[in-house]
Amino acid sequence: MRETNYPQIQETTYYEKLENGLEVILIPKKGFQKTYALFSTKFGSIDHHFVPRGETEAVRMPDGIAHFLEHKLFEKEEGDVFQLFGKQGASANAFTSFTRTAYLFSTTAQLRNNLLTLIDFVQEPYFTDQTVNKEKGIIAQEIQMYDDSPDWRLFFGLLENLYPDQPVHVDIAGTVESIQQITPESLYKNYETFYHPGNMKLVLAGKLEPEEVMSWIRKNQSEKEFLPDEPIERIYPPIDLDQIVPYRSIYLPVNRPKALVGVRGTETSTSNSRTVKKRLTMELLLNLLFGETSSNYLELYDEGLIDDSFSYEYSYEEQFDFVAIGGDTRAPEKLSEKVKEILQQASSSKELNEEHFRLNKRKMIGQLLQALNSPEYIANQFFDFYYEDVTLFDLVPIVEQLTLSDAKEAAATYFLDEVTSVFHVLPEREVQI
């Protein structure tokens, strides 16, 4: 087990890669009473085209199968795993994103029992025709609920504009039609491919004794048999930036229009310190341009173009990265044009000055340090920020080294008009009788 110390932030991590390929990361937090555990696989909604383990031909799975599989793992022949966690004093949950599926719990008691429950239920799949067909109705209702959400439709409408050539534009849960194609056999095929320990990470943060916890995990895994680890061949469509749709809109029963401006990144994703620096630079750049300390924000607010729903985000994953900016507005066209103008002129913006940059950099460092008091944040971020040359605990030094020139360069190279798109949700027109 490798121990790594971070004196600047007074943190220590313990790392071990087991013989079956499972990566385990333990982060003890002195003085904490709660422990948070996250068991994740690098398998999300975009991973529906791949070569199954042990086979040579690629298969195309139904949209939403990763999310469906997440739901079904909680249901066992002997009952629902949620009830077992509850009896052991733990709160459990799970989620599926574009690129990963994670199972988690938090507890202040019975850590060993809850940890072994987490590992065992994820590593013991149980699917039947009856349980799968029952779940189709449940997930269909969930999909319809999100289809009725204007904010959800706004976000995925923008993704469909930016990524019509990539699977990221498809709802994580799939469609009502696509999930009807899911069978126990297809679930097992996905499970056997993506739930191998070599494709997974187990992270615990909070109250724990590293040697003791690692011994539990080693023993548990040594008693199970797994096929040899092998690379997973994932297949994605070729990138075609010419397919980006500049503008679309839909009409929904909303009282106030919604507007979202997006920019699609053009670089190939990597997983190293350069990736992390880019992510932090882009987050800092958006704070400079649209944060509450910016004159841009104040002008948009004073003109009545934005309200408290206004937000901006930068998403960076393998296979895609994008910026999304917007919210509710009385004038969607005007807000969209204003945001696009700010982006196009970003590299020479008055917001990008040394004083404003130092202020926002200090704010980002403060937020990072504050977040390190949350075991939930630490565990979740360690999945995203654990590369050979950088971890979550290296972020503060990286932010400290960022310069105004880095922000200006990012603004000049990222916010390109040809990869910018706008999506509006507009109030339904009244029918004249």
Give CA–CA dist 312/298, Å, rounded: 15
Task: Judge whether 77 counts as a catalytic residue.
Answer: no
Which H helix or E strand runs over 407?
Answer: helix 404-414
Backbone angles phi, psi at 354, to 5 degrees: -60, -45
Give CA–CA dist 167/161, Å, rounded: 12
Q: Give the torsion sign (CA, 57, 61, 67, 70).
A: negative
Strands (E), 256-396: 258-264, 311-317, 320-328
Which residues, at least 6 apart from 370, have a Cβ–Cβ distance to it below 8 Å? none
**What amino acid occupies position 198?**
G
Bridge partners of residue 321, in order along the sequence: 316
Bridge partners of residue 264, in order along the sequence: 322
Q: Which residue has the tokens 């960022």?
A: 402
- Give CA separation, 120 vs 78, 103, 189, 229, 311, in Å: 14, 11, 19, 19, 40
Backbone angles phi, psi at 300, to 5 degrees: -65, -40
User: Checking DSSP bridges between strand 247-252 and strand 420-427, what pairing results, if any?
Assistant: parallel
Catalytic residue among 11, 23, 70, 351: 70
Which of 57, 60, 42 lies closest to 186 in space, CA to CA?
60
Query: Is residue 395 within 8 Å of residue 13, measured between CB atoms?
Result: no
Give CA–CA dist 136/142, Å, rounded: 10
Active site residues: 70
